[in-house]
Amino acid sequence: MAYFDAASTEPLHPQAREALIAALDVGWADPARLYGPARRARMLLEQARTEVAEALGARPDEVSFTSSGTQAVHLGVLGALHGRRRVGRRLVTSAVEHSSVLHAAGVHERDGGSVETVGVGLTGAVDPAAFREAVLAEGTALACLQSANHEVGTVQPIAEAAAACAEAGVPLLVDAAQTAGRMPLPGGWSVLAASAHKWGGPAGVGVLVVRKGTRWRSPLPEDERERRRVPGFENVPAIVASAAALRAMAAESAGESARLSALVDRIRTEVPRLVPDVEVIGDPVARAPHIVTFSCLYVEGEALLTELDKAGFAVSSGSSCTASTLRPSHVLEAMGVLTHGNVRVSLPRGASSADVDRFLAVLPDMVRRIREDAGIKS
């Protein structure tokens, strides 16, 4: 099986596996206690915090560990809004944010707040001028913008958004799930959320970073753990493994990102050449190095994914229609691009050129057969 779904989850990094196994033996105790094994667990936890902070350009005391990237986003969004409730009840987001941001925004609306959604262009990027105008509006408490889109890979103008937020005195929350460990993070943000399994750490560890001076108040009942930001017992072995994976991915990122980006360029070029009636989606240049998405006209995404699975390729679809809703991806809809017959290829660390060549070799005949079964001849 050629695994091409790293945007969903990156395979566990070898250094994370080693760190996890070692930490299971020595980091199992409660880090809040005072006896020997607990002090050892606390030391491992704080060392991991320091390593993650360094990789993300933050201070260790700004970093908290959560149970997932989704929880980090929820706490980041709702905590910042709660902390700035006296300033205003207005939240600004882009139309292509991850569902975790949109769900938090929905909670905010049901609680009496308002949400302004800034649209995107055909590449999936927000217009910096439109984002600035939205942020400068009176009563804005928080702005949210992802570092890169999880479905199409387009990088967002974080530096320009941060400058607009600084001008308005509004904190910026950045969802860095798709770029942490892979690309440098622009500065200027106030709150950052990330997910360890996206960079080769184990599932079940998220990262919430709240800059010093940012008004933030937990929307959950208070707990003494994690700077009173995140309730519950810390999973020290998984956190140690996550830090090891982030450190390793960041060290490898320059060479590996360039290699994966070249493979993505090959897919972006060859798919429309080999397959008729295909739209390659997202910015061809300002993009995450490992993600490429394309849509095939007259093809159901589920059917194509099933055929690719039979041929030994694990990919996903941005269309993600379900039988109950029949609703395509909100990202593709917001971009105004073809929403059906969608395939997202996201290359993990170590993805081979041979597997990409094999993918390009089998794809044209698959699309042709699916179209013929539907009564359409290419």
Give the domain ranges of the chain: 14-248, 253-373
How much is the pLDDT for 378?
A: 62
Q: Is the pLDDT of residue 325 over 50?
A: no
pTM above 0.85, yes or no: yes
357, 300 in Cβ contact below 8 A? no
Model confidence band, residue 371 (pLDDT cutoffs 50, 70, 90): very high
260, 289 in Cβ contact below 8 A? yes
Right CATH for 14-248 from 3.40.50.2300, 3.30.830.10, 3.40.50.150, 3.40.640.10: 3.40.640.10
pLDDT digits (tens, 9 = 90+) for 118-158: 999 999 999 999 999 999 999 999 999 999 999 999 999 99
pLDDT digits (tens, 9 = 90+) for 183-230: 999 999 999 999 999 999 999 999 999 999 999 999 999 888 888 899
pLDDT digits (tens, 9 = 90+) for 283-324: 999 999 999 999 999 998 889 999 999 999 999 986 544 434
How much is the pLDDT for 304?
A: 94
Q: Is the pLDDT of residue 361 over 70?
A: yes
pLDDT digits (tens, 9 = 90+) for 52-95: 999 999 999 999 999 999 999 999 999 999 999 999 999 999 99
Rounded mean pLDDT, 318-341: 73
pLDDT digits (tens, 9 = 90+) for 170-179: 999 999 999 9
Q: Which CATH architecture has domain 253-373?
A: Alpha-Beta Complex (3.90)
How much is the pLDDT for 247?
A: 97
The catalytic residue positions are: 321
Rounded mean pLDDT, 11-15: 98
How much is the pLDDT for 345?
A: 98
Alpha-carbon distances, residue 378 vs 149, 262, 340 (angstroms): 31, 29, 17
Rounded mean pLDDT, 336-352: 94
Q: What percent of the chain has pLDDT over 70?
A: 97
Mean of per-residue pLDDT scores for the chain: 95
pLDDT digits (tens, 9 = 90+) for 53-63: 999 999 999 99
Q: How many CB atoms lie within 10 A of CB 160?
A: 18
- Fold identical between 14-248 and 253-373? no
Where is average pLDDT lowest: 134-138, 273-277, 282-286, 339-343? 339-343
Q: Is the pLDDT of residue 236 over 70?
A: yes
